[in-house]
Structure 1
């Protein structure tokens, strides 16, 4: 039986860590800070893993319109993300890429707390809410129903508070078949799209070989070039987000069986995001596919660009990407069986499904599938 991507998959993280560079004039020197402003903690001394490891599955997602308690508090987006460009930006900043025509620096530039870059949470989540209600609430409900999750399997994690390095593998959780118990016994099926060998659960495509734990905070580790597709399911609709320059971190509980204050940060290439949201809008409200209404909405999205697609800033260039920060919590699970491939059910504006169109589980044009 084929799974439908609009109900089965909420997020797939693929290997995507790209070196971050740049120093802003408002940034404190590293010697003045325990770690770089707006960044996760740096790794400690080498300490090999000495335990059985753990698999942690995301149970709540926070997209920016709510705080980490799930409450609608103005400015909640400011706490989600990392300082990707190494700058603490304000409306008067002059060392940043140029806003897209029609956008103003006062709307685009100001960062969140400690230079956090998150134009997605600041500007786009509100636009999405106009079509899909309360995104964070709906996505979390879908996870609570067992429709999907994302799993981080940290190998050899033991009882100590710090390790360096640890190998971590990432999996997409398919439909569980019922509400999870969240007591460590849930055997969550794994989507095959994120496996090198669709029949070998150990062949994860997404591997963080240099992840580490410092004072019970897990960090994905040094960045390497690449992108991943995060598919958010909300109100029965699928929103695809192709993210690059990613860093992931989370605070582990003392027993290492749950995590809070999880953060996913990265960059969305503007042109790619526009086409991804064109699909969502066409699926939710097909009438917007006609005339200038759709392009007006997409122009609003373009105007939120605040960074370059490689995660840097270039005052001589127009911004061509949008920073993103998402929060999460996670709980212990077990890896279950390998699920069947997903089926794509999205219909973008101006197109119709065809028998020859590949599903999300089938790569096209030589690009790897994200499984969404």
Structure 2
């Protein structure tokens, strides 16, 4: 693993579910103040896994099959490019890049090396979203017409100061919005073709470039539309850190999935609202690593989706900055 900040620890923790199948071969610092030893102790990683002062040292000495890149967001793309050029499959903190040119460079590196690149987006495996996806695939709501997604976070009291700098943080649309886009994409299998967005910061002036609220309208690839609301306004007294919700309205019915309550309801023309049965939980990140090891080609669509969702985020941020509708490239 390269870096010590972000959700990469969740990926390493998930490997405990397949302890006899994988080995953590090393951890690397990105910044001098990084402390991988703390991560090793928290996650009970073997003492045999060395700590490297630089990512280049880890890549050269260990030659891993899979690299987790999880650090300050402006460093994700260049470090992932280096790992891809070393022939490593990638699991990266999201967003994959903060600028279009960096995303293009990473995409080229991944293609040239014939490796896969997944973002750390595990919500697609949430039972409520999987139940929604199964119902939609079964045609229970007919044609998809409108999607509404919500992603709300607590801002907290210990957020890094670099969240207030656009060049390090990238903006709240790429950081939080990618989750809401993933909700819609994973449930409907639809992509996004155009976006209009607005954003602002009214409650955290000490973090000037960290927007506390964002609103997006998107055109779907089937001609339908979607709305997304994002905010850092969830009160500290709320029972959970996030408030995540998806509504999909179709020509014959409506599905609502609540990820916090772990529920999925369906109402159609022919029946009142019912709670759908939820599938059993899955070990998403452990299975992801297993596929990268045994059958990486099976994750080609996962790689395409990771780049598409990142591109949509960057286009949405452009829309908010320029105050205009932005078409989303299909590639």
TM-score normalised by structure 1 residue count? 0.21
Q: Which structure shows the bigger proportion of residues in helix conformation? A: 2
Q: Higher RCO, 1 or 2 (CA under 8 Å, sep at least 6)? A: 1
TM-score normalised by structure 2 residue count? 0.23
